[in-house]
Amino acid sequence: MTGLIDFYVAHPFWLWLSIAAAFLAVEVGSGTGWLLWPAAAAAAVGVVALLAPTDLPVEIALFAVLTIVSTYLARRFLRPALAGPDPDLNDPTLRLLGRPAEVVAAFENGRGRVFVDGKEWAARVEDEAEGDAVPATGTRVSVVGVHGAVLTVR
């Protein structure tokens, strides 16, 4: 233990930088996003210890404050990458939900073709009841569902 204390007294910057690296390594392994901010706080405290040497209790307090503030600000103002209407990154068809589409082939028996997001898709009309008007070619519809390669429109 005295070796660590001697190392801290001689090189506080490198100790804080190694703490930051340890937090960052665990963060990379876990991918939670929670340990990124303590890693940044430890690196910042290391820079402060290098530029303006202070006592260990002050550095620990600074580390705690920076960790809390940076974590709060990150959670408050940075959106997670997968937040939003399409949480499945591997299924880009979910982005089509709610998009407007144009009918390019007339609907017969509830089936037709629509143009949306730069592509032509097979489509079916949602809950077609008797007497409902089927969308004519050139009209705008909205995508309400995706089932494989067939869109459901309204």
Express each pLDDT in 18-27 by its tens digit: 999 999 999 9
Q: What is the radius of gyration, based on Cα positions, of the chain?
A: 28
Q: What is the pLDDT of residue 109?
A: 87
Asked if residue 87 is part of any domain, the answer here is: no
Q: With H, G, I as helix, E, B as strand and everything else as coil, classify residue 34.
A: coil
Q: Are 103 and 147 contained in the same domain?
A: yes
**Judgement on whether residues 60 and 97 belong to the same structural domain of the protein:** no
pLDDT mean over 67-72? 94
The arithmetic mean of pLDDT across residues 5-17, rounded, is 85
User: Looking at the DSSP assignment, which residues form a beta bridge with residue 121?
Assistant: 114
Q: CA angle at residue 55 from 50 to 58, to 5 degrees?
A: 95
Give the end of a domain, one of 33, 53, 77. 77
Q: What is the mean pLDDT of the chain?
A: 87
What does DSSP say about strands 111-116 and 150-153: parallel, antiparallel, or unpaired?
Answer: unpaired
Instruction: Report yes or no on 82 lying in a domain.
Output: no
Euclidean distance between CA atoms 112 and 115, whole angstroms: 11
Q: pLDDT per residue over 143-153, tens digit each?
A: 999 988 899 99
Instruction: Tell me: do 11 and 63 sit in the same domain.
Output: yes
In this predicted structure, the answer to whether residue 76 has a pLDDT above a threshold of 70 is yes
| Between 133 and 60, the higher pLDDT residue | 60
Q: Residue 129's domain is classified under what CATH number? A: 2.40.50.140
Domain residue limits at 11: 2-77
Structural domains counted in the chain: 2
pLDDT digits (tens, 9 = 90+) for 105-143: 989 888 999 999 889 999 999 876 555 678 889 999 999
